[in-house]
Structure formats: structure tokens, C-alpha cells
Chain A
Amino acid sequence: MAVSEPMRAEQQALDRELMRRVVARDEAAFGQLYDRYSSLVYSVAARIVRDTGAAEEILQDIFHQLWQKASQFDPARGSLPGWLLVAARNRAISRLRRRNPGDGEELKENTVALPSQLESAVAQKQMLGQVRGAMDSLPAPQREALELAYFEGLTHSEIAARTGEPLGTVKTRLRTALETLKQALHL
């Protein structure tokens, strides 16, 4: 990882401090957290729903929930950007598939341990480049299968139905794609 561990710890400490202030109803701290992560959240939502207005609504909803349930977030158990990304994806996919967003986004329950840091803008850009590079390096059928799973929330069977490929092939493609990504990203 290009971003050092001490720097990551520093950024996580800043997140914890901002969250502590948000719990104490500090609007300025909440604004800072929004500035740190709104682009990440918005980008995922926009990629999934492919609708600017809907993506903005999801972004607003997620941060609103963060404000309301801030006291439930345990920084010792999970990463804040990790939770934001998972929540953004879940909400966007629910909207895409016209499902009601479940309770799966509860801050205390949906713990996400990010393997690398996303707490600073520099780190976000670095990881973004690495992930995109790794995705681009995948053979097209694997990348397509992975994107259908991740950005459309389709299961093996649904991907098979969508692409017309046999279920076994889809499963193999997904597994291979994940294995390749993990190696490329040193996860």
C-alpha cells in the first residue's frame, strides 16, 4: 500500500474524533465527515442506479442515517468509509431492484473491516486507481460477471439468466475474478 500505516491510523483517529463530535450533535464535524466521504458514496450510488437525482437522494439518506444513528457506530469494530460504501451499495441496489431497503444498514450490525485505507482523499484516489486497474485487467466475461454481481446485486443464477451462460460457468468466472483481484490488490 502506498499510504503508510501511521498515516492511516492518524486518519482513522480523525474519523473517530469527528464521529465523537457528531454524537455530541456537532454539525461542523458532520459537515467535515460529509466532505471526506460524500464523493465515494455518491459515485457508488450513481454507478448502480445510473440516475443523478436518485443517487443524490441515496447520498442524503445515508448521511442522514449516519447523523441519526451516530451513537450506534463503534469505530473500534469497523471502518466508517467501509460502512458508508456497503450502505450506499445496499441502498442503491434495493432501489434498482425496487426492494425496500432492509434493516441491514444498522450501524452497529453491519460491521465492515476495510483491508486498506480510504480515510483520506489521497488514499481514496490511490485505491481507486488500483481497483480500477485490477478490474480492467480481468478478462471481459469475468469483469462483466463481477460487475453484474456488485453493481446490480445479481446472484449466480440471475447472472446466468441475464448472460445466457451456464450456472457453473458463471460461478467459475466469479471465483476466478475474485481470486485475481485479491492477488492484484494484495488483499
Chain B
Amino acid sequence: MNGHPTRPEDFDLHALGALDAEEAQAFDTHLAACPECARKAVEARGRMALLSLAAPLQSPSPAVKQRLMRQIREDAPASRLSQEASSASGRWWAFGWATAAAALAAITIFLWIGNNRMRMELEALREATRQEQIEIERSRALVALLSAPDRVDVSLAPSAEAPGAQARVLYSASEGLVFSAENLPAAPEGKTYQLWLVPTSGNPISAGVFHPNAAGKVSILLPPLPPGVAAKAFAVTVEPAGGVPQPTGPKVLIGGVS
């Protein structure tokens, strides 16, 4: 067919399928190139569909609907997949890969965050364990100090710098030292308190610097000291912040080993 179909019924005959093979093929070729005739062909299909109504109206058995509903239920997941796969298999796969990649990235980040969190928790646990270990060691050391045969119990008397202050030292040359004080005023601005072990021979040894709390209390447990030092006295001085190697400031508390 070179031109447009000449008569309106041509479209109906085409829709009806009454055209012989050669005519039908020529018609189809023309429709593919002519949107106007293609539109008319769609209309003709509708007109011809109405001829179906010439068929005597019958109702199908209710069993058909039951079978159909069972069928769609059975193949629901599969049909969805096949539908997506057949209509856009490339898209589906691309979507699949993109989804998989995104999921993998999410899992990786999730694991990384989880890993970091676990590492931090583990670190915190280790630290807590270490602190507990230290506490246990201290407790042991305190018990050892309290029960040490060479333990001395020294009360420190206040000087005029801190008249109401009270302090006490427990000391063992082998097990260490515990110091506690009460009613101690805050150290002057830029100054700190420093505890000294005065050995039976040689220069005083620093047992650490400290600041009392707001209530004027303070404790020093087992400061690092060289072992085996025989003590003659204990003293607290006021020193520049950070402490000094040897006492320079005024004595606030002092007590001798009896």
C-alpha cells in the first residue's frame, strides 16, 4: 500500500483480520509510518471489539475465579520478579547491584562504627579493670602497711600557718605511706602543699604535692617513695605550685617518729 487506506472500512477489515496476508502486511507497513492512520486503526479495533457482544452472554463457572485467585496467590512473588525482570531486566540488575553495593557500604560503615564503639568500650573496660587492679593493689598495700611490723603512726602538729589543722601519717619503710589531714586551709594563690619524709639521715624526700578539698580534707595513699628509708619525721610545707626538690617554704604541719 503506497497511500492512505481509501475507505473507512479498510481499517475495520484490518482490525477484523479479514485482510489476506499480503494486504495485511502492506497495511501494517503503512501504519508504522503514519500516526494518523495508526490512530484510526486503534479506533477500528475498538469498533470491532464491540462485535464480541454478538456472542450469547454466558457466565463462567465460579470455579474459574477460585482457580484464578489461587493461581495469583501461588505465583505472586515469582510473577512480580519475572515481570520486573522481563520488562526491565537491565534496570533490575542495575538496581540489584546498586542496592547490593549500598547495602554493603551500609554494613561496612555499621561494622566500622560498631567496631570503633566496641574498641572504645573495650578500652574503657581495660581502663576500669586497670583502675580496679590499682585499687586492689592499693588495698593490699594498705593492708600490708597496716599490718607491717615496722609501721609507725605519726600525728602531725599544726604550726601558726594553719592553726586548726590536724594530720596523721602511717608509714612503713617496706610497705609505704598514708597521709591524711583535716581543717587545712587552701594553699595561697600560686602555692601548693608538699609532704616530706625526713629520713634518719640525709635530705628530706618529697612524698608528693597536694591540695585539700573545699572541706579542708586530703588523703595521700602510698605515694612513690624509695624503699627501705627509715623515717625520722614528716612535714608539710607551702611551696611554689608544682613542688620543689627540697623544702623551701614555711612548715604547716610537722610530726616526729617517736
Contacts and interface: CB of A to CB of B under 8 A. Distances in A.
Contacts of A67: 72, 79
A interface secondary structure, majority: helix
In the A-B complex, list the 4 residue pairs whose CB atoms are closest, starting with the nearest: A47-B55, A131-B53, A42-B60, A44-B52
B197 to A, nearest CB: 85
Interface in B1-49: 7-9, 12-13, 16-21, 24, 42-43, 45-49
Given A42-B59, A55-B60, A56-B64, A86 B49 contact: yes
A75 to B, nearest CB: 14
Contacts of B20: 155-157
10 contacts: A42-B60, A43-B58, A64-B68, A71-B83, A71-B87, A86-B49, A114-B50, A115-B43, A132-B53, A175-B7
Contacts of B57: 39-40, 43, 124-125, 128
A88 B58 CA distance: 14
Contact of A25 (B17, B21, B64, B80): B80
A60 B67 contact: yes
Given A44-B55, A149-B16, A156-B19, A113 B64 contact: no
B60 A153 contact: no
Contacts, number: 160
Contact of A113 (B42, B52, B55, B73): B42
Contacts of A25: 76, 80
B258 interface: no
Interface residues of A, number: 70
Contact of A128 (B17, B53, B61): B53
Interface residues of B, number: 47
Given A43-B56, A156-B18, A150 B50 contact: no
Contact of B17 (A56, A125, A153): A153
B48 A116 contact: no
A132 B9 CA distance: 20
A18 interface: no
A178 B52 contact: no
Contacts of A43: 52, 55-58
B215 interface: no
A118 to B, nearest CB: 8
Contacts of A88: 52
A116 B48 CA distance: 12
